[in-house]
Amino acid sequence: MSENKEKDFEKLEGITGHVWDEDLCEYNNPLPRWWLMAFYGTVIFSIGYWILFPTWPLPNSYTKGFYTLKVEDEGVTTDRNWNSRVRLANELQTSPEAQNRTANLKKLSEMKPAEILQDPKMIQFARAVGKVTFGDNCATCHNANAQGQIGMYPNLTDNAWLWGGKLEQIEETITRGRKGNMTPAKPEKGPANMTDDQILDVSKYALSLSGNYSGDEEALERGEKLFYGRTPNACHTCHVNYASGSKEAKGNPLMGAPDLTDNIWEIVDINSMTTPEEKLAAIIPHVENGVVPDTTHREMPSWKDRLTKEQIRALAVYVHQLGGGQ
């Protein structure tokens, strides 16, 4: 190695004047212009970002920025400060797919029920929307397969409709909600409407209407007279729809009364029983206690304040298409 470390640093130009180890000095060359411009650009960008977007934490909040996006919530469009959730909501509402969905929902709400049922594409769209809505709101009670639970929640896949199975009737049921009601033969308060023998007779007659009881002709005759009696609480006042021109106990959607002739049971699981004695033992308590609102819990809430009209219409189409729609 060279041992000559003597250099005349005073003659060198563009150095800082600092010397290390006798022969090491630092040149004072400026940074490249492009590098300086990039650096200053990042500073300006960061300042703009601080102003527009959420940036700095505060003791109880944070700086929300001035950049906003439009988001619709329950039919009201508002400007909200940008964050990732607001951005997602905005994209879900303004994307081409979302706009197409909004247009179809509007069209669905404006169509008449008969027009919807004649439009395969609209039925397909409504079923897709209704399936999601059903899973989020209805499946808790009616189950994911919509077959309900005997004694608690109706089966929506059969053709037994307490309040009517037409599309407009299903839509009204979802919108307004329903309360089940059947006058008890032995109310908790007040006198009984029937004696024990009369309850037995009318129970036998009610079972006979669907082929679940036969043999005791005298009891069936007495039960029929009680069923079609002239008292205000007689069974036929609810279970017979005289407006249809029939006197059979085929139910009345205006009253929410079930058809007693179709062998479809919503509250008492008669079809799981084999002997007439079992069936009578199961139905008699039901006749005695009835279906009393707020105690028997045969109540469906109104959804008009939780779902939009478009969602309710799509949900009604979905339920109607499950297999039992009229």
Q: Does position 222 have pLDDT exceeding 70, yes or no?
A: yes
Domain match, 240 and 281 both = yes
Question: Which helix H or strand E contains 114, and what residues bound it?
Answer: helix 113-117
Please determine, for residue 4, whether its predicted confidence score (pLDDT) is greater than 60.
no
- Are 196 and 277 within one domain? yes
Strand partners for 7: none
Q: Quick one: which H or E segment has residue 98? A: helix 96-110
- Pair 169, 305 in one domain: yes
3 and 149 assigned to the same domain: no
* Amino acid residing at 232: P
Question: Cα dihedral angle (73, 79, 81, 85), rounded to 10 degrees?
Answer: 30
Whether 35 is in a domain gets the answer yes
The answer to the question of residue 138 being in a domain is yes
Per-residue pLDDT tens digits for 196-215: 999 999 999 999 999 999 98
Rounded to an integer, the average pLDDT of 139-166 is 91
Give the residues across from 20 on adjacent strands.
24
My answer on whether 169 and 316 are in the same domain is yes
> In which domain, by residue range, is 240 found?
179-289
> How many angstroms separate the CA atoms of 27 and 282, rounded?
103
Tens digit of each residue's pLDDT (9 = 90 or more) over 56-65? 999 999 999 9
70, β-bridge pairs: 79
pTM: 0.75
Contact by Cβ (8 Å): 133, 311: yes
Specify the pLDDT at position 27: 82
Segment 153-171 mean pLDDT? 92
Same domain, yes or no: 259 and 201: yes
pLDDT computed for residue 299 by the predictor: 87
Tally of domains in the chain:
3
Same domain, 198 and 108: no
Q: Is the pLDDT of residue 241 over 80?
A: yes
Euclidean distance between CA atoms 224 and 216, whole angstroms: 12
Nearest alpha-carbon partner for 170 in 47, 316, 25, 12: 316
Buried b (16+ CB within 10 A) or exposed e, 29-67: eeeeeeeeeeeeeeeeeeeeeeeeebeeeeeeeeeebee
Element (H, E) at 173: helix 167-176
Share in percent of the chain as helix, strand, coil (round to 5): 45, 10, 45
